[in-house]
Structure formats: C-alpha cells, structure tokens
Structure 1
Amino acid sequence: MFGFNKSADSAFHNLTPAKFAEGLRQPGAVLVDVRRPEEFAAGHLPGAVNIEVTAPDFGQRVAALDQDAPTYVYCRSGARSASAAGMLTKSGFANVSNLLGGVLDWPEPLTTK
C-alpha cells in the first residue's frame, strides 16, 4: 500500500541456492559471509569475504564495499544474513540478495582457502 509500511524484507531478494549461484556469476558481484570467523574458516563459498554481522565494526566494514555492486550475503541457515541484508539495504545498498537456507542448503562443496 503506497510503500509506507514497506518491511526491510521487501527491500532485498531472498534467493534459492540455484538463483543465488546464478547471480554470483554477474560481473562485479560481491559475496559476503556474515558468520563468525571460526565458522568461515571451517568452510565458506569460494570468493567470499567474511564480515561478521554481529561484530561491532560490521557497519564500518560494509561501508567500504561498493553500494552499487550486486551484493550477495549468506550465513549458516539464512537468518543472520537476512538481518544483514536488511541493514545493507537500509544503508543504501541498491541490489542485495540473501541465500535462503544458508550454507546448510548450499549444494556445492565449501572451501577453506
């Protein structure tokens, strides 16, 4: 209704693993893992940068990213990344996507490199 009660959820895209993987192939796409550093070290999507959503410097660290680049966020199950996606869109990121189901539903092997 006229956008006055627009929820944060409607400002970003929730994507299935297949659609998320497809989006990552876009030139300039940025992949952000918002889990804790020890979770990231245990296995993450190739090419991801780790910026923990619950860290006190989360806002400062994401401010260094290109707000116009397609930004893809994920976590273990999709809950923390949905929160992060909402924060990103509120701070001016134009194209944010969240991985539904997180790495629990990711069909491909994770990397530790």
Structure 2
Amino acid sequence: MDPLVPVLAGLVVDIVWWLDSCGDEEVDPHSAVKMMENVAWIMGELPADQQQRLIEILGELADAEDDPARASQLRSFPFACGLVEDETTSRTGYPVRHVGHPGMTVRSGRPVLRPGTP
C-alpha cells in the first residue's frame, strides 16, 4: 500500500473532526454540515472493498495513536459516515457488516462525530 493512504485517511478524519468541533463563529455551520455530508457521501460511494480497507486503515491508525481523543475519532469515523451500522462495531475498527449507504448521525441539527456528544 502507498504510505500516503493512511496519512490522507487520518487527515480526512482530522478535518471532519475540526469542522464538527468548531464554533459557529469560526466556521459557518451550514458550510460545515455540507462539507461533512459530502465527505460521508464520497466515502459511501467507494466500492465495498475500498470501504473495507478504509475502515481497516482507520482501525490500524487508532491502534497506533497515542492520543486517546484522536484514537476515538479514528474509530468512530466509519459509523459517523455511515460505513458501519453501529458505533460499537466501529470503535473496534473492524466492522461486522456494511450499511451500503452514506449518512451522518445528526443531533441538534449538526452531524455528531464524537462518541458521547449530547
């Protein structure tokens, strides 16, 4: 595998997490939601084998991550983007089954990418 792939996968997670955690005064909420939904749609449009590989890469990155918050982000990303059906499976980094369609978990009008966010 090209060593650039895990770097880019981690970068996508970091950017989406940043968009999700920014205040409304930092980033227009509608723009942030649109961008996060677009990321989820693109991930959902990947062929199943590429989705599976992305999930595996994110699990590997999470396993190697020293920062518990970032490791949690890496593990929850497949669920947040609709690549796996439940968050528990996503946290392990290894899904049981695919959803087959993209989607974000939305609470209070904004996609939620952090586990346990009210």
Higher helix proportion: 2
TM-score, scaled to structure 1: 0.28
Higher strand proportion: 1
Q: Return the structure number with greater relative CO, CA threshold 8 A, min gap 6.
A: 1
